[in-house]
Structure 1
Amino acid sequence: MKFYQRFAYYLIGLVLGCFFVAAMWSGKDVRCNYFPNARVLNDLRTKPFHHTKEADSLLSQGWISEADIKNILTYGDVDFDRSNIKEGGGKKYLIEGQTAAKQKVEIEVVNFEDKAVLKTIRKTKSE
């Protein structure tokens, strides 16, 4: 069998294999969160999200928005040295991120089994 014939069989098998893999995984909500930071942020995003009165008052000031909070919960960095502390039946996480105006902030979220609660929002100094 010549090289181009073997190559043609290889390509046919590759295309069929890709088709079956795509068909098997399409429509499924699959996430590959291997690192602790990604797992914590994904867990917080998938739960119902509530605010304390203090967080609501800070959100109403206008320097940070609900979209900024969602962005921080997607791209933020969890500070594990000061996080994963039991608090009121849940675990407290400190997440560092930035607003759309590039202001560095730190949010404190308590993660319960059935919900996540935003406790405080703090501006941090730029380095």
Structure 2
Amino acid sequence: MLKKLKFYTIGLIPGLLIVFFVLNQKGASCSYFPNDRVIAETLTKDFSYSENFKKEMETSKISEQFLKDSIISKGEIDFDRSKAQAEPCPQYLLIYPKKNPRMEINYSKCKEKAEFTSLKKLK
């Protein structure tokens, strides 16, 4: 039994290392949790902004790049207050940051685009 376990670990450890480095170089990621899947899918869409949202971005001095790279990527979807089953475009409420939220963003995610409707600063 010990001999089998030894051969198993000799194959398992190098195999895991190879898979880890190959997938890491390709930039592959696994998004199994609902929050991660919604955010990853949102980032693949074309963004459109309501006039109110544009004004709030200007007032808060938030660039589109910062919105994508930080706020959306590091935010969390509040599924209790979202309408994820709405047709034809699910509506989501994103809070940023995950702990001690300071912003709420409402947006709808359609097949071709994500339309951001409101940006609200908390506190």
Scaled by the length of structure 2, the TM-score of the pair is: 0.72
1:64-75 correspondence to structure 2 within 5 Å? 64-70=62-68, 71-75=70-74
**Which structure would you say has the larger Rg?**
1
Unpaired runs of 5+ residues, structure 2, are 1-5
2:86 corresponding residue in structure 1: 86
Unpaired runs of 5+ residues, structure 1, are 1-5
CA contact (8 A) 1:85 1:93 kept: no
In 2, the alpha carbon distance for the partners of 1:106 and 1:33 equals 23
Count of residues in Structure 1 that have an aligned counterpart in Structure 2? 114
Displaced runs of 4 or more, over 6 A: none
Q: CA RMSD in A?
A: 3.1
SS in structure 2 of the partner of residue 81 of structure 1 = coil
* Alignment pair present for 1:51 and 2:49: yes
1:123 corresponding residue in structure 2: 121
Fraction of identical pairs, as percent: 30
Scaled by the length of structure 1, the TM-score of the pair is: 0.70
* Alignment pair present for 1:40 and 2:5: no
SS in structure 2 of the partner of residue 116 of structure 1 = strand
